[in-house]
Amino acid sequence: MTVVLKLGGSVVTDKETPETVDDDALDAAVEAVAEADLDRLVLVHGGGSFGHHQADKHGVSLSAGSRDAPGVWAIHDAMRRLNDEVVARLHDAGVPALPVHPLSLAARDADAALSMPLDSTATLLGEGFVPVLHGDVVAQAGAGATIISGDEVVTRLARGLDADRVGLCSTVPGVYDDAGAVIPRISSFAEVEDVLGASDATDVTGGMAEKVRALLELDSPAHIFGPDDLAAFLAGESAGTVVDGDAA
């Protein structure tokens, strides 16, 4: 079974303080991953206070590009350093993690269509490693470099690797309705368009709305859940909000 799991930037970092890891939250997530009995796991982590802070500083987003090499490097370097921290903690917990950086793999054409070969990721999986990818900057024809969100990485992995389960672990237990209750299932964006708002912290990738949009594009159900449900998701149980576009 192939599982694709994203640890949101709000889970692994303190999004209110630039370039600060949330030690307790990251350690708890790593412990859950280490204790899970999974043969094929791919991890993705968000940018949190690392990538989002630098992207906002340099004016780069999903749609706004830059040809300023030092600025593009600053965004990637922030994500690389966060990735190093995640991988190192996974190693300390006995997880055979290895980094995979989208900047070196992916590109967009002039229409922003993404190309992201997964040969190396698939081979790492086949050899028993846990690939760890992340949101990043990628070259885009006619725009210099733009952001690729962790959510977009997740959907590319889910399709390309025929994932059996997909999960996004955020700091909330699921997608809330307008009464503050977790919505059990979403089958179309129209169902939640009125209740999804932007993130309170700096986020250049669209927040919860973009998470839901990305997961609705998958062929199989996905889950949005909080850290308390991470172990349950990894154990194969239902967690948080199920996002299933095929149920529409």
| Residue positions forming the annotated binding site for ATP | 6-10, 48, 207, 211
- Binding site listing for substrate: 47, 52, 150
Locate all alpha helices (DSSP H) within 44-127, ordered by sequence. 48-58, 69-92, 119-126
CA atoms within 13 A on the CB side of 86: 32
| Other residues' Cβ atoms within 10 Å of the Cβ of residue 216 | 21
| Other residues' Cβ atoms within 10 Å of the Cβ of residue 209 | 17
Q: Report the distance separating Cα 124 and Cα 207, nearest Å.
A: 30
Q: Are 60 and 204 in contact (CB under 8 A)?
A: yes
Q: Report the distance separating Cα 151 and Cα 186, nearest Å.
A: 17
Residues 128, 131, 132, 137, Cα dihedral to 10°: 170
- Binding site listing: 6-10, 47-48, 52, 150, 207, 211
